[in-house]
Every structure is written in C-alpha cells, then in structure tokens.
Structure 1
Amino acid sequence: MTEKQPNKFKRIIKSFTLPKPWDSIVILLLNILILIPVFIILHQNLIDPEWPFHLDRILLFLAITAVMQLLFQLVKRFIFFVLILYLGVLIYGTLFQGYGFNAVYEDYRSMIYAMSENPNPQDVIVSKLLPFPNKNKILNSIEYDNPKVRNFALTATTKHFRDVKGFREYRQMIQCFAVFKEVQSRWNYVNDPKNREYIATATESLQHFSGDCEDHAILMASLIRSVGGTPRLIHTKAHIYPEMLIGTKADLENAVYLIKEVLFVKESKGKEIHYHIDERGNVWLNLDYTARYPGGPFMSEEILGALTLN
C-alpha cells in the first residue's frame, strides 16, 4: 500500500506535466510576465548610474531574464501549477483593483516610454536662495482650506481624466493635472494696477480667473494643496510660477508617460517635459500658465527663490 501511494502521486504529477514543446513555451511566457514587474521594481529602486544608452538597465534586464529562465527550468515538472498560480494572482488583482493584467501592461509601456524619452531637466535648485518677496502676504492668500477653493478643485477632478484606467498609485497626480487643465483653459492674464503690487487671494482669482503670474501661482498652489498635492512657488527676477512635487525620478517616468501618452497627448506632442530637481533629489514639475501641459517650457530666467507649502 505504501509503495502504491508514491506511484499514484507520480502519475498525478505526470498527468499535469506539459509535453514538449509546450513546457518551453509556457516557461517563456511566464518569464515575460514575471520579468516585467520584477524588472520595474528593481529599476525604480536601484540607483541610476546614468550610463549611456541605458546600458545598466539593459544588463539588469538580461540578468533577471537569465535567473528567471534557470529557476523555471529547475521547477519544469511543476510549471503548469506555477502558471495557474500566477494567472490566478493576476485575475484576482484585475477583479479587485490590485496588481492585474492592465497594471502589468501599463507598467511595461511606461518603462519602455521613459527609457526612450529624454525629458529636459534644469539645473538643480540649491538651498541657498534669496528671501521670497511678500512671503507672508502670499502665504495668507493661498487659501487651500477655503470651501470655494476645495469645491472648485473637486469639480475639476470630476470634469477631467475621471475615466482614466489604471495608474491607481498616481491618482492624486492625475487629479492635480485635472486641476491644471481646468485653470489653464480659463486663465486670463491681467496686469496689476499701475505702480502697485496687487496680490489677489485664491478666492478672488476664482471669481474671474484673471490676474498676473503671481495671482495664477497663488491659485494653482491653493488648488493643488486642496486635493493633497504639494506645490511650491518659484520666484525669478520678473516672474512667479507654480511647481508641483512629483517625487523621485521613477515617479517622473510615470508622470512623463501620463502627460505625453494619456492625458495631454496633443498639447505635448513633440515637446519636452521641464522640471527641477531640488537639493534632496525631489522632482518638481512646472505648472506655469504659459504652458499648455504640465511640464511645459520655463520662462528662461535665473531662479532667485522658492516657497514650498509642506
């Protein structure tokens, strides 16, 4: 009886063993499916040595492929069960908004797009900047907790990009981009009164969507902050404009993909993405009213100050 049980177990295992060449085909399929998320995780968390032509990432990709292939060859007899388990995980993620088939596809497209694109970073902003002009008055004008400001931001997020699928972890970024799109489509530049610096509050600017660059920056900072984003204002010799915290360079890759391939396709076609990197390595994206898409061209002036809303 004890001898028959192992034989029976072997027969069961053999019945689920894939015949050639299907075993090799399934191994290749699994290698591709599992390779993508593993590579993306490592790609986003390893330091980028900035080798030419992304040679470091190419070598990483080949190394992961070789390791995966070796592991699958070692469990070749159980490869059918491995395939069922992995597909089950992806199906569960797809049905319950976890990491599913669509997430694998979007991650892969974002990775390939980011490696082929060449965004246009500016000089790193050093910490030793000049005092920000009218700092206290500007801070008091950024009314991010005012119900009118909050309600307008919420309206913008329901009007634009609400039906974008996937990118769950970048939902807040997408909502901030929706706010930018709504304000950019309505803003009307009007000068301050002659010989006077007039600083409008966010709620004032919401009445007519008019004002100078300072008023626009205050309004954008208020709206971005009201939906959970982190804005800051950049001061140059004759201009003030808002920026939004994107995060790391890995987050920037996803932001570039979202802007150019999903959200602002026409506006950004053939254009570069402009951003700053601060002394801590954080990436800040330009949201100036002069740009038709997030990350549009800067006003080419030397940066004199930065005011961040934490």
Structure 2
Amino acid sequence: MIRIPKINFPQLKSKLQVKSPWDRIIIMLLSILITIPVFIILHQNLIDLNWAFNLDRIFIFIFVLAAIFFVLMYLRTIIIVCVALYLLVLVYGSVLGNYGFNEISEDYNSMIYTMSDNPFPQDIIVAKLLPFPNKSKIINAIEYQDPKVRNFAIMATNEHFKGIKGYSDYRTTIQCFAVFKEINSRWNYVNDPKEGDYIATASESIEYFSGDCDDHSILMAAAIRSIGGTPRLIHTKGHIYPEILIGSMIDLEKINYLIKNVLFVKESSGKKLHYHIDERGQVWLNLDYTAKYPGGPFMFEEILGALTLN
C-alpha cells in the first residue's frame, strides 16, 4: 500500500516566503502598479472637492495604495508565488519572441494613457476583460499609425465627399464615411485557410482589399482611426464587423439626414439606419462589409463582445 506523505503546510509556507525586506519591496511595487489604474477610475468618477494643491486626490491615492498594500501583504505568500510564476511565463515569452516583458510594458503604458484621457476609464478595464476572439492579434493588426493605412484613408477623403459644405461639426464623420465607401466598394470576400483563422494586418489588406470579415473590420477600424474617428469591433455569431461612434441621439438625427439626403441618397433610399446604443447612451453605426451605406442592415443583431478602440 502506497502511503501519501503528509504535507507540512507551515513548513512549505516558510520555504516559499521571501525574506524581509524584499517581500515588502515586491508588494509595494505591485501595489503601485495596481493603484494607478484604480486611482484614475476614482479620480474621474468622484466629485472634485477643489482642495488646495489637489490634496483630496493625494489623500485618495495614499488611501488606495495603503489599502491595496495591506491586502497584498496579508496574502503575500500566495501573491509572491503568483508573481514568480508570471515572471517565468514572461521570460519564456520573451525568449520565444511571444508575449514578454516588452509587450506587457507597452500594454500597461497604453492602458494608463488611454484611461487618463477617457471620461469613463473603468470601461477600458471592462473592455480588456471582455472575451473577444483573437483579441491581441486583432489589436496588433489595426495599424492605424502605418503610413500606408493613413495615406489610403487620406486618398479616400479626397475621392469622396470632399466638396460637401456646411457640416463642419461632422467633418471627421463624413471623412470616415468616405473611407467606408472606398473600402466597401472594393472589398472582395475571401475565406481563411481551412487550418484556422488568418488575421491580416491593415497594411496587408490594402494591397488587394480582400479577406474575410475580421480582415475587413481590421482595415476599416485602422483607416477610420488614422483620421480621427472612433471605431469599435463587434463580435457576434461567427462574425466580426466594425462600427463607428456617432455620438448622441441628436447627432444621429443629423447623421441620418446626411446619409439619406446628401451622402448615400440612392443606397439608403427607403431604408433605415441600424445602430447600437451602449451603456453610456452613445450611438454606434454599423459599417459591415455587407452594408451599402453607413448604418446598413446587421447580419446578426446579438452582441457577444465589443472591442473599442479609443
């Protein structure tokens, strides 16, 4: 009969513990990294008391940092083991050229920068936690700063609707619609290889304007973002498609007039606009490859995930 040796948990715990003061240093660094995004969320959502030298915000930061530090110190053995395992994963990723230290640093800096410039920073956290197929690959493929992508978008704005006057408040939206018109008028749907998803970058899709729904969405999102628009990608049943932020319902009324009476008169004749309203009351207009005009019919109404690109 095989005897299973008893585990001496106190002894195991003592072996896993990091000696002082290194345990406190590790926990403090981790606490600061967690406190920064939490503080940004609180800063944007709490009433500004207008204290001298922003003392109210300083106290909030110190309080949050202290609270997180003491919680992590209480769980320091587990936390330090998890940190050690995570570092090993990052080392492995860095060596193989996958997700490593550089990538996590860039993602963290990008998240903090985006949160600090967003009136609803908690939405950034939620968006990162929502499930979305091939999320990291798609984000990397949306090369909105690539010169080819931006030059294409600029070309589209010169090709379509350049002479429209009197709608300066919606100039960016009109230019994004020009990008939509150029892409959708040229798009050729081509399936991925049988082996699985092939995620084409935006600069790659510009060559032939061909690919499947995620390739179309990536190119549309990249081109729109490159000229100041705010796109997002929607994941639904076996499909991904792009949407563009219009604004409020008042903005939608004006955009509806523009689409039906100025920009896409024939394409939208006798038809309605299809859009989603998010939890903030913001309107997002459908830009799927099947649409002949911005706000064309959805292939599927249900939203399984959303990837917003601020």
Q: Is TM > 0.5 for Structure 1 vs Structure 2?
A: yes
Distance in 2 between the 1:257 and 1:179 partners? 19
1:283 counterpart letter in structure 2: V
Distance in 1 between the 2:228 and 2:190 partners? 29
Describe the SS at the equivalent of 1:268.
Answer: coil
Distance in 1 between the 2:255 and 2:131 partners? 30
Counterpart in 2 of 1:25?
A: none
Task: Describe the superposition over 1:123-163 as per-residue Cα deviations: whole angstroms up to 9, x where unpaired.
Answer: xxx98995111111100000000000000000000000000
Q: Does the 8 A contact of 2:231 with 2:244 survive in 1? A: yes
2:142 counterpart letter in structure 1: I
Counterpart in 2 of 1:17?
A: none
Task: Describe the superposition over 1:1-32 as per-residue Cα deviations: whole angstroms up to 9, x where unpaired.
Answer: xxxxxxxxxxxxxxxxxxxxxxxxxxxxxxxx
Equivalent residues, number = 185
Describe the SS at the equivalent of 1:254.
Answer: helix
Describe the SS at the equivalent of 2:154.
Answer: helix
Q: Does the 8 A contact of 1:141 with 1:200 survive in 2? A: yes
Counterpart in 2 of 1:302?
A: 302
Distance in 1 between the 2:137 and 2:271 partners? 35
Q: Does the 8 A contact of 2:188 with 2:211 survive in 1? A: yes
Counterpart in 2 of 1:171?
A: 171
Give 1:165 shift: 1.4
Distance in 2 between the 1:261 and 1:245 partners? 20
Describe the SS at the equivalent of 2:266.
Answer: helix
Counterpart in 2 of 1:289?
A: 289
Distance in 1 between the 2:177 and 2:165 partners? 15
Distance in 2 between the 1:130 and 1:225 partners? 21
Distance in 2 between the 1:255 and 1:263 partners? 10
- 1:228 equivalent to 2:234? Answer no
Task: Describe the superposition over 1:169-210 as per-residue Cα deviations: whole angstroms up to 9, x where unpaired.
Answer: 110010000000000110000000013110000001000000
Distance in 1 between the 2:250 and 2:288 partners? 23
Counterpart in 2 of 1:206?
A: 206
Distance in 1 between the 2:269 and 2:230 partners? 27
Describe the SS at the equivalent of 2:267.
Answer: helix
Distance in 1 between the 2:127 and 2:265 partners? 34
1:155 counterpart letter in structure 2: M
Distance in 2 between the 1:149 and 1:267 partners? 26
Describe the SS at the equivalent of 2:219.
Answer: helix
Counterpart in 2 of 1:152?
A: 152
- 1:264 equivalent to 2:269? Answer no
Alignment TM-score, normalising by the size of structure 2: 0.58
- 1:142 equivalent to 2:180? Answer no
After the TM superposition, which residues 53-132 of structure 1 pair with which residues of structure 2 at under 5 Å, given as runs?
A: 130-132=130-132
Counterpart in 2 of 1:251?
A: 251
Percentage identity across aligned positions? 75
- 1:275 equivalent to 2:279? Answer no
Q: Does the 8 A contact of 2:286 with 2:295 survive in 1? A: yes
Describe the SS at the equivalent of 1:255.
Answer: helix
| Gapped regions of structure 1 (runs ≥ 5) | 1-125
Alignment TM-score, normalising by the size of structure 1: 0.58
Distance in 2 between the 1:296 and 1:186 partners? 17
1:274 counterpart letter in structure 2: H
Q: Does the 8 A contact of 2:127 with 2:306 survive in 1? A: no
Distance in 2 between the 1:269 and 1:157 partners? 23
Divergent runs of 4+, >4 A: 126-130
1:204 counterpart letter in structure 2: E
Distance in 1 between the 2:238 and 2:180 partners? 22
Residues 267 and 306 (structure 1 numbering): CA distance in 2 closer, same or farther, change over 3 Å? same
Describe the SS at the equivalent of 2:238.
Answer: coil
Counterpart in 2 of 1:111?
A: none
Q: Does the 8 A contact of 1:130 with 1:304 survive in 2? A: no
Describe the SS at the equivalent of 2:216.
Answer: helix
Greater relative contact order (CA < 8 Å, ≥ 6 in sequence): 1
For the aligned residue pairs, the C-alpha RMSD in angstroms reads 1.6
